[in-house]
Structure 1
Amino acid sequence: METQHWTGATGCCTPNPGDFPSAPQGVASPPSLEKLSCASPSSNQGGDSEPISYVTLQEQRCVLSWFQGWTATQRERFLQDLLGKAVPGKVCTLLDSLSTLQVRDRLPNIFECQLRLWSQWFESWGEEERNHFLHMLEERDPVFVAHFYNNVAGTAGRD
C-alpha cells in the first residue's frame, strides 16, 4: 500500500507571483453618463479619465457573472436597486423597502448576499468606475440597460 506525502509537493500550496496575471495598465473609459450622475457635470471636464483599478474591475466582472445567472425576477430587483442608485430620492426601491422591514425569520439567500456585496462595491466606486460598469453591462445585455435608461427617463420631473 502506497502512502502519499503532500508536505513536500512543489507549487501545491505556495503560489508563485508569476502564476497571477498582471494588473491592466489602463482601461478605456465608456461614454460619459453625466446625466445619470449625482455629481456636478463639471467635475470631470478635463477629459482625462482615471484608469479603472484592478480590484474594481474584478468586482465588476463578478457582478456581471452573477447577473448572467440571475432569473428575470432577480434581474428586475437588481434593476430597481440600480435605478435607486442612479436617481436617489426619486424612486423607492424594493430593496430599500425590504431593508426597512427588519424581519429576519430566515438566513439571507445567495442572491441577497450578492446584492449586499454589489451595493458595498458600488458605493466604493467613483463616477468613472460606475460608468464603466454600466458600459460593461450594456455590452452583456443591451435590452436590460435600455430598460434601465427608460426607467431613468421616467423619473424626470419627480421630486
Structure 2
Amino acid sequence: MPLGSREKSLPISYVTFQEQRCVLSWFRGWNATQRERFMQDLLGKAVPGKVCTLLDSLSTLQVKDKLPNIFECQLRLWSQWFESWEEEERNHFLHLLEEKDPVFVAHFYKCVAGTAGKD
C-alpha cells in the first residue's frame, strides 16, 4: 500500500484521536446542563463572532475565588485540544459525536443554521 493512500485512510493523528475519545467519554458522563454548556462552547467555536457563548458570559460575571470543578477543567482541556485540531480533525470529532448522540448533533446543526445572516 503506498504511503499516500494510507495517510488518507487515517484522517487524524493518534494523539488527536485519543483526545477526541477522552472528550466523548466525558460527554457521556455529563448531565443535561453540562451538555448545554458544551453546546454553547461548540457553537462559539463553529460560528465565532455570531454566538455569544454561555461560557464567555459566565467567565466575565464570575469572581474566581474558588478552584474550578472537574467539568470546568474538562472544558478547558477540550478548548485547548480543539484549537490545535485541523479542520478535518474537527469534522471527524463531530462525526464521532454524532455516532454517540445524533440528537445532540442535529440540535447543534440546527443552532448553527439559525445563526445564518446574523452579525
TM-score by length of 2: 0.90
Q: What value does the CA root-mean-square deviation take over the aligned residues? A: 1.5
Q: Identify unmatched segments of 5+ residues in structure 1.
A: 1-24, 29-49
Q: Deviations over 1:61-103 (max 9, x none)?
A: 0000000000000000000000000000001001111222351
Counterpart residue number, 1:82:
42
Distance 1:145 1:102 in 2: 29
Counterpart residue number, 1:127:
87
What does 1:117-156 correspond to in 2, within 5 Å?
117-156=77-116
Distance 1:78 1:27, change over 3 A: farther
Q: Identify unmatched segments of 5+ residues in structure 2.
A: 1-5
Q: Which has the higher relative contact order, 1 or 2, with Cα contacts under 8 A spaced 6 or more apart?
A: 2
Distance 2:11 2:103 in 1: 27
Distance 2:67 2:81 in 1: 22
Which residue type is aligned with residue 136 of structure 1? L
Asked if the contact 1:27/1:52 (under 8 Å) is kept, the reply is no
Counterpart residue number, 1:99:
59
Counterpart residue number, 1:7:
none
Which residue type is aligned with residue 72 of structure 1? A
Distance 2:57 2:80 in 1: 18
Query: Which one has a larger percent helix, Structure 1 or Structure 2?
Result: 2
TM-score by length of 1: 0.68
Percent of counterpart pairs with the same letter? Answer: 85
Pairing 1:56–2:16 present: yes
Which residue type is aligned with residue 65 of structure 2? D
Q: Deviations over 1:108-145 (max 9, x none)?
A: 00000000000000000000000000000000000000
